[in-house]
A = this chain, B = another copy of it.
């Protein structure tokens, strides 16, 4: 079914407030999840609500805790998320970086003691709106098998990068691995097979059954145990196809997050503290040239790529094209909610005394 995004946001805001988040934090959290649904990234939308609320119940997320600045200079920021939702510390840090970078051309932030922060692109797009280049990284649960390895260790570590362009910014936003685990969860829910080479078992044999892959991943991600296997690095199964470059990309994010923050690396988030770490970078492109000229040059390049010769029946898309198309459609027609999520929302609404959107 589809529901209006304004109804989704209003429902979420009330739920978060009743769960103990401040009204400003509740508004932000509702906005990040609704924004993901509007962009068609439903794996990071309202379907995560029950999972977040469960982490509040378990004490992994503490809604009352305030973000703390540990260290700050005109170009740098070290923040303690204080075990609250990753979105709160991340939006706080990105707002500060935007101010800093407008004065100092470049600035960076690291966040420790954090949790899941939604889509990485939410924060890099904040920079794009301010005319800046934005980079946003997080580590995750251990899901990914390094080159030649038969057990998961690396996170699916997200990387987002935005650059000003028309009719929308360049928004490259996703897991550094072949796919995020959310994509496999969605296939499992819909009882579909995996269409590509995404996951392997304990012998590094490709797993096509989404349920089997989901079993491997949830064991690796949420318990200290391992079945063996996991998601592949970008580049796939073989060293000959340079899958160590996908591993390198994941390690870059791990170094900038878990290691710089002195928090857990992805491999250790399945035990103990369950903390994630985040990294943000913003750059002011107008130091190097007129922003309108840079934006036009980037836009021209993207348009040339969209119109290159290509194989029949396919399209060439620039990162962000799909998201912004979904955003326009879903703003008009409402966001899609699957049946299982609809049931979860009815239960959550009942428990907290929040009226569910009328369409449900």
How often does this chain occur in the complex, in copies? 2
CB <8 Å contact, B235 and A301: no
Complex CA gap A76/B101 in Å reads 11
Contact residues of A with B, CB < 8 Å? Answer: 71, 73-76, 78, 104-108, 110, 133, 146-151, 153-154, 161, 163, 170, 172, 174, 176, 178-179, 195-198, 203-204, 228, 234-236, 238-242, 244-249, 251-252, 254-256, 259-262, 265, 267, 281, 283, 285, 287-289, 293-294, 297-298, 301, 304-305, 308-311, 314-319
CB <8 Å contact, B260 and A310: no
* A21 CB, min distance to chain B CBs, angstroms: 28
* A192 CB, min distance to chain B CBs, angstroms: 13
Complex CA gap A256/B298 in Å reads 11
Closest B-chain residue to A228, C-beta based? B309
Chain B residues with CB under 8 Å of A265's CB are 297, 301
* A325 CB, min distance to chain B CBs, angstroms: 15
Chain B residues with CB under 8 Å of A311's CB are 148, 150, 203-204
Chain B residues with CB under 8 Å of A289's CB are 260, 262
Given contacts A172-B249, A174-B242, A234-B242, could you give 4 more A-B pairs where the C-beta distance is less than 8 Å? A71-B288, A108-B283, A234-B246, A244-B317
Closest B-chain residue to A173, C-beta based? B248
Chain B residues with CB under 8 Å of A234's CB are 234-235, 242, 245-246
Complex CA gap A317/B353 in Å reads 54
CB <8 Å contact, B309 and A240: no
